[in-house]
Amino acid sequence: MTFDFKKEYKEFYLPPKTPHLIEIPSMNYLAVRGHGDPNLEGGEYKASIGLLYAIAFTLKMSHKTSHKISGFFEYVVPPLEGFWWQDGCDLLDYSRKADMNFISVIRLPDFVTRADFDWAIEEATQKKKQDFSKVEFLTYDEGLVVQCLHLGSYDDEPATISAMNQFISDNNYTLDIKNPRYHHEIYLSDPRRCAPEKLKTVLRHPVRKLACAP
């Protein structure tokens, strides 16, 4: 049976629609960094998605090439994710999309090493005659976050974020959004094939516990 991260790790990819605390372990990702409005045709964000998937599928199909990855098993490519921030802001201002910075990522199976990543970059570059130098191997230790499933348009996320912030305050935590801890989204739906009101997105915000009053 083909391994599916969403089904095997439901606590990370299929959370409830109510905010809750969860500790996210260190994971390896394919990553592309950029800036600008994610909706812009021909912009950096949409270009990053193409780069990521090209390398992700090169690795997924590696077992059909001469490059054999130790410990490889067949798997579904994990969903697209994104870390987002704006300079000088803790929370995203959705009215200023042109000021957004991002790191687009796709999770890597644990058996993929940096050497395997280097092979995939070279393989895709040769086969597709395209520059993949923006793609990096990223190890990210996310730590303690408040997580929630958002149902609906990306522009409607502030309502879900407001509920997350209330949960954070009610439970004596505080936002800990600062480099390298960012607003995190995991895209469970394809916006090209799904009505905006039915989009499913996992939202995460890094937090830390407030010190108890003396």
What are the helix (H) ranges across 61-112? Answer: none
As beta bridge partners, residue 137 has: 30
User: In this structure, are residues 37 and 28 in contact, taking their beta carbons and an 8 Å threshold?
Assistant: no
Q: Kindly write down the DSSP assignment for every residue of 53-70, as one continuous string.
A: HHHHHHHHTGGGSS---T
Sign for the CA dihedral angle at 54, 56, 61, 63 comes to positive
Nearest to 29 by CA among 202, 150, 184, 205: 184
Angle, in degrees to the nearest 10, between helices 44-60 and 114-128: 110
Distances (CA, A) of 21 to 16, 80, 83, 178: 11, 22, 18, 18
Those residues whose C-beta lies under 8 Å from the C-beta of residue 104, and which sit 6 or more positions away, are: 31, 32, 33, 34, 45, 48, 49, 52, 80, 81, 82
% of the chain with per-residue pLDDT over 90? 93
Looking at residues 34-57, what average pLDDT do you find? 97
φ, ψ dihedrals at 85, nearest 5°: -160, 160
pLDDT grade for 212, boundaries at 50, 70 and 90: low
DSSP type of residue 50: H
Looking at residues 80-85, what average pLDDT do you find? 98
Those residues whose C-beta lies under 8 Å from the C-beta of residue 109, and which sit 6 or more positions away, are: 3, 73, 75
SS3 177: coil
pLDDT (tens digit per residue) in 85-110: 999 888 999 999 999 999 999 999 99
pLDDT (tens digit per residue) in 154-208: 999 999 999 999 999 999 999 999 989 999 999 999 988 999 999 999 999 999 9
